[in-house]
Amino acid sequence: MSPVNNGPVGEIRRVEIVDSAVDAATLEALVADDRAGAVVSFSGNVRDHDHGRRVAALTYEGHPTAEAVLHEVAKEIADRFDLIALSVVHRVGPIPIGEAALVAAVATAHRGEAFAACQALVDLTKEKLPVWKHQRFEDGTDEWVNCA
């Protein structure tokens, strides 16, 4: 765990729940800054399998408070790490296999802090965000999962 941020809070540049495609390059560009020695991003993509079963389709549904919760998560990470900037976006609705569901990017002065902050941002988002994943499998079964 990184030490508490003793400097100014990093700038939160984009925090949003969307129903259209988003990619890591877009968020990387949003956090880019001449002060940054490191920009780290994460793209959580929809895969075609889960626990040995083939995924045919996937939909995310979010609670009406999801965007407010995502803002709280971003603020917590900005307070905890020595960030220059961060952005995080989660997609809802039907998402095609291979496209991103969760994208995060952080900029810091040094790489270690950037990796730690991005991982913490993703982990805390997955822990707290009220979003549910509905997977439909090729065998005709389906399941709901409370995760991001």
How many residues comprise the chain?
148
Task: Measure the CA–CA gap between 40 and 116, rounded to whole angstroms.
Answer: 9
Domains, the chain, in order of start with CATH, read 11-146 (3.90.1170.40)
3 state DSSP class of 66: helix
Sequence-separated (6 or more) residues with CB below 8 Å from residue 35: 84, 107, 109
Nearest one of 88, 125, 124 to 104, comparing CA atoms: 88
Tell me the pLDDT tens digit for each residue of 1-59. 343 443 456 899 999 999 999 999 999 999 999 999 999 999 999 999 999 999 999 99
* Strand ranges inside the chain, DSSP E: 11-18, 38-45, 49-50, 53-62, 83-91, 93-94, 100-108, 131-137, 142-146
Q: How far is CA 60 from CA 1, 44, 66, 100, in A?
A: 30, 13, 12, 11
Tell me the pLDDT tens digit for each residue of 72-112. 999 999 999 999 999 999 999 999 999 999 999 999 999 99
